Copies of this chain bind each other. A is one copy, B any other.
């Protein structure tokens, strides 16, 4: 049932956007540092909720970090090193579209990390995160859930829609049959890393619009007391008539017209 209708969604997400704008202004003003980790099933909708969050925010206040495969140099470093590089300075919100938790998820399930490495990761992570939160960083971790039937539906859509084809990677395809292994890996991850100072929050993304609103509402409510008044900007009337564009060197392109209208 739930199924929000489209206008309700638009209305609600716009309302929340205003609160996010306030929140980001508070972050910039107070010098807070916020890290939000987005993990979850392939196709769950990490990219979509991140885009919804960022949509109206000043890009100087919020950064998205989506790291690719480590280089050889990075692969030889301390595991957390390449993520640490992207942690926020005062006044920044950083959204991790996948994160160090790769090791506990895809790397484990697909066999890119061995059991020793995964165990070491699960052991080290709460300590690593405690260092960050002790330093005053606010660390919020979301895991987006989706039933396999829904996932299959979205994979089929990606296969068929030319606008979404690139989202379907060979790893995704190989991962399809590992749904239950991912569930197991997630539960082990939760057992090891759902801590007081850096707890996980699961959000149901079977309905993506619903999932976005649930997640964003939660995110806003996690940062209390984050109001800073909007700066008032004065735009006194211009002197004289407004100017128009005039061109001496080259002219603008002619307006595009629809093919049928030519």
Chain A interfacial positions (CB closer than 8 Å to B): 2, 8, 12, 14, 17-18, 21-22, 25, 31, 33, 56-60, 66, 68, 71, 73-74, 76-81, 84-85, 87-91, 120, 123-124, 127-128, 130-132, 134-135, 137, 145-149, 151-152, 155-156, 159, 162-168, 173, 176-177, 179-180, 183, 187, 190-191, 194, 200-204, 210, 213-215, 217-218, 230-231, 233-235, 238-239, 242-256, 258
Q: What are some 27 contacts across the A-B interface (CB < 8 A)?
A: A12-B256, A18-B162, A22-B162, A31-B76, A56-B163, A58-B166, A60-B68, A77-B87, A77-B90, A78-B87, A78-B132, A78-B137, A120-B135, A147-B242, A148-B238, A148-B242, A149-B242, A152-B238, A155-B235, A156-B235, A159-B233, A165-B233, A180-B243, A191-B249, A203-B253, A204-B253, A210-B255
Q: Which chain B residue lies CB-closest to A246?
A: B183
Question: Of A71, A123, A242, which is in contact with the most chain B CB atoms at under 10 Å from its CB?
Answer: A242
A137 contact set on B, CB distance < 8 A = 78
A162 interface neighbour in B8, B21, B57, Cβ under 8 Å: B21
Is A245 a contact partner of B76 (Cβ separation < 8 A)? no
Is A204 a contact partner of B147 (Cβ separation < 8 A)? no
Copies in the complex: 4
Is B165 a contact partner of A231 (Cβ separation < 8 A)? yes
A132 contact set on B, CB distance < 8 A = 78
Is A81 a contact partner of B77 (Cβ separation < 8 A)? no
Q: How far is the CA of A168 from the CA of B252 in the complex (A)?
A: 26
Q: How far is the CA of A251 from the CA of B199 in the complex (A)?
A: 12
For the complex with contacts A176-B238, A200-B250, 20 further pairs of A-B residues with Cβ separation under 8 Å are: A18-B162, A18-B163, A21-B165, A21-B166, A31-B76, A71-B71, A77-B90, A78-B137, A80-B84, A81-B84, A128-B131, A147-B243, A173-B233, A177-B238, A180-B243, A183-B243, A190-B249, A204-B255, A214-B253, A214-B255
